Amino acid sequence: MNTIPLVETLAPLALVMGALLLFGGVRYSRAGIIATVGATILYYLHWRITRTIPWSGGPGDLWWPLLCLTVELAALFDAAVLLAILSRPTDRSAEADTGEALLRTRWNENAENLPAVDVFIATYNEPRDVLEKTILGCLALNWPDARIWVLDDGRRQWVHDLCVAKGAGYINRPDNKGAKAGNINHALTLTTAPYVAVFDADFVPRRDFLLRTMGFFEDAKIGIVQIPHSFYNHDPMQTNLGLQQSMPDDQRFFFEAIMPGRDGWDASFCCGSNSVTRRKLFEDIGGGLPEGSITEDMLLTLASLRQGYVTRYLNEPLAYGLAAESTAAFFVQRQRWAQGAIQILYLKEGPLGPGLKLRHRLMFLPTAWITQGLQSAFAILMPILFMLFNLSPMIDVDLPALASYLLPLVLALLVGITLLAPGRYFPLAAQVLAVFQMFRILPVVLQTLIKPHGHAFKVTPKGSSAGGGNWESRVLFSCLFLIAASVAGMVANIGADYRIVAQDELLPMVSFWLLLSMLVMILVAMMCLEKPRIRGEERFEIQQPLSLLSDAGHMITSGKGDISLSGLGMEVAEPADLAIGERVQVVLPEVGIVRGFVRRTGRRIGIAFDFHSEDVRDRLIVWLFTNRIRVNAQRPSALAVAGAVIRRLWAADLTLQAGPLPVPEPEAPEIKLSAATRLVQPAAVRTLSTAGLEAEVALAAYTGAEQEPKRAA
């Protein structure tokens, strides 16, 4: 037994805590934090490899310790790559400012000074309530020659008619070969602009998207400009645990910490949507997107690196889309990502193929999909197997040894990464999500490792098609089984006479480990209970005073409340003198007058919109979705998020969703077009970037304002 004196036991832990306090608070140093974490990893590995493995034993003694060590080594390898990524984050906003100023100057001189951009909206089966927002948002882009194309791989008549009505171009094709990559490649053969912007069907760009991104192409080596995926709704973890106001969505760590870090190594990559690509890049790599993997965006980036191009990352929320709206949609999305990431390992165009620098090979290895699932599985199974079968991953280990070597490692990793990505990384929430994913993603990863190809491309269901059941039964029952096994393991080792574990001194530590695991699994089980999405449209915080005009001639103005495409909730200081059902008019900037009727009165006025024209509704969509959106914008501390997560155990809502929300009837019959290529040119003039004057005229007339109303830009 490796017995260590108390001072020697606590010294490593104290050194790690002191170094993290120094470099993370007293005098912030990214290099110091990384050096502290790196040194702790090496210190732990030396002990783990040389002192805890029964190297002189036979296969029966070695198989389990070596298996556990292999998983640890793989996880620590990925942790080392992550530390390297987080070591040099970039902030390209100043460059975007310079580029935007240059582009505006050229535009003012002559609009023809700015290049044409083909804007592709790739769609397959998304419903109208999702797709129309993206089409209208793209039509409102602030750019002189943006050619909006809807690439409809579903060959739906109503999509064709919607594009014609709104002025967007329409392209379909005879087959669905190559899935999304094939859809885009087909459109590339029919379009000619020197730059191509790509949006998924649910991502709505801000009006200044192209002005903020196109300036980067002044550098000839820039082949792709990527911006983050930001969301205007809440993901399943936020919704099912009731944490919408307590923490951001789970992708903030990736898009706001990892991707800026990758950009510092010229290793950021195209993420399939919210990007602009130089057409010459497509030409240089063979004419289009690689189709060897269902993650065509990753292969595109690797192909561009081999041609000497760089993907530049601008960490600004310039487009907003839908996060997975149900656990079923969540797993469809993540399983597709995992499959595609593993597939590229088997392709010569992947990270192991020729023509890449070592740093790019390391940073594009998709091993995190494997190690995250295995690490989560082993973290749960190891204490259970130890308690039930005396199966130990280490030999000759006692509490002082664990306190001297294991605890400093855990502290260094969790606190170090939190300090490197403040407001983006939340250890407890990350562990809950990792375990939640493990049950469904790890089997897919292992299956893809054995059979990398032949998997169908599944589109993430969105909007009214998101569906989802009342609960995620497979994950829920797995959690309940593991919780029961954990309890059984602790009960089995209570009495000394029938205790299973041979190393009595480890029981307190392993029992504590089991309690933490059970806490995580209880939270995972709560995530499996689908909460109802009671609103058909997402609501956004009111960001400026809005005015309401009643039929009786009263005007109410307030800047507090929320608004959606279907209605308005307005908070007022005094109860409003309005009757339920009364007709009102809401004056919205850049939109005009929106008619509606009162659904709720008092200090909180509820208005349901009743659109008198489709143009007004279109302008409201543009106003709501192409400006800055305050959803998922909070960046709390890791401790605040951990506290909020734990509090859910005491304030948990364990009721099930009564049933799926009713799917609205489609506005047009789902008529399929024949299998042939169709191309409808976009309208010559886009009209959605300006709004009418009726709101300002009405408000000026009512208030007696004598100033001339100005045209809204």
Domain boundaries, the chain: 6-87+369-528, 92-323, 540-626
Report CA Rg, the chain.
28
pLDDT of residue 656: 53
Beta-strand pair 540-541/546-550: unpaired
More confidently predicted of 420 and 456: 420
SS (H, E, C) 614-635: HHHHHHHHHHHHCCCCCCCCCC
Tell me the CA distances in angstroms from 296 to 289, 412, 571, one per residue in order: 6, 36, 47
Q: What integer is the mean pLDDT of 329-353?
A: 94
Q: What DSSP line would sit under 438-467, residue for residue?
A: HHHHHHHHHHHHHS-S-PPP-PPP-GGG--
Compute the distance between CA of residue 110 and CA of residue 99 in angstroms, rounded to an integer.
Answer: 17
**699 pLDDT above the threshold of 80:** no
Compute the distance between CA of residue 402 and CA of residue 506 in angstroms, rounded to an integer.
Answer: 9
Q: How confident is the model at residue 711 (pLDDT cuts 50, 70, 90)?
A: very low
pLDDT of residue 669: 61
**Lowest-confidence pick of 368-377, 464-473, 564-573:** 464-473
Compute the distance between CA of residue 168 and CA of residue 160 in angstroms, rounded to an integer.
Answer: 9
Q: What integer is the mean pLDDT of 53-60?
A: 93
Beta-strand pair 275-278/222-226: antiparallel
pLDDT of residue 2: 52
Share of the chain above pLDDT 70, in %: 91
- CATH second-level architecture of 92-323? Alpha-Beta Complex (3.90)
Mean pLDDT of the residues in the chain: 90
The pTM assigned to this predicted structure is 0.92
pLDDT of residue 665: 52
pLDDT tens track for 650-680: 776 666 554 444 454 554 468 999 989 999 9
pLDDT of residue 655: 60
Dihedral sign of CA atoms 501, 505, 506, 507 in order: positive
Compute the distance between CA of residue 446 and CA of residue 33 in angstroms, rounded to an integer.
Answer: 34
Q: What integer is the mean pLDDT of 182-210?
A: 97
pLDDT of residue 531: 78
pLDDT of residue 647: 86
Torsion (CA) 502, 508, 509, 513 in degrees, nearest 10:
110
Compute the distance between CA of residue 144 and CA of residue 147 in angstroms, rounded to an integer.
Answer: 9
pLDDT of residue 468: 59
CATH 2.40.10.220 fits 540-626, yes or no: yes
pLDDT tens track for 476-535: 999 999 999 999 999 999 988 889 998 888 899 999 999 999 999 999 999 998 877 666
pLDDT of residue 661: 46
**13 pLDDT above the threshold of 80:** yes
Compute the distance between CA of residue 454 and CA of residue 699 in angstroms, rounded to an integer.
Answer: 61
Compute the distance between CA of residue 699 and CA of residue 694 in angstroms, rounded to an integer.
Answer: 8
pLDDT of residue 130: 95
Burial class (CB in 10 A: 0-12, 13-18, 19+), 627: middle
CA angle 89, 95, 98 (to 5 degrees): 165
SS (H, E, C) 576-612: CCCCCCCEEEEEECCCEEEEEEEEECCCEEEEEECCC
Q: What integer is the mean pLDDT of 292-318?
A: 95
Q: What DSSP line would sit under 504-515, residue for residue?
A: GGGHHHHHHHHH
Q: How confident is the model at residue 295 (pLDDT cuts 50, 70, 90)?
A: confident
Q: How confident is the model at residue 709 (pLDDT cuts 50, 70, 90)?
A: very low
CA angle 610, 133, 547 (to 5 degrees): 40
Dihedral sign of CA atoms 575, 579, 581, 585 in order: negative
More confidently predicted of 111 and 1: 111
pLDDT of residue 464: 62
Q: What integer is the mean pLDDT of 613-627?
A: 95
How crowded is the C-beta side of 531, counted as CA atoms within 13 Å? 18
pLDDT tens track for 383-397: 999 999 999 999 989
pLDDT of residue 705: 38
What are the beta bridge partners of residue 557?
547
pLDDT tens track for 583-615: 999 999 889 999 999 999 999 999 999 998 999
Q: What does the block give as tokens for 171? A: 């392209």
pLDDT of residue 482: 97
* SS3 call for 569: strand
Q: How confident is the model at residue 458 (pLDDT cuts 50, 70, 90)?
A: confident
Beta-strand pair 169-172/146-152: parallel
pLDDT of residue 534: 65
Place of tokens 């790196």: 38
pLDDT of residue 551: 84
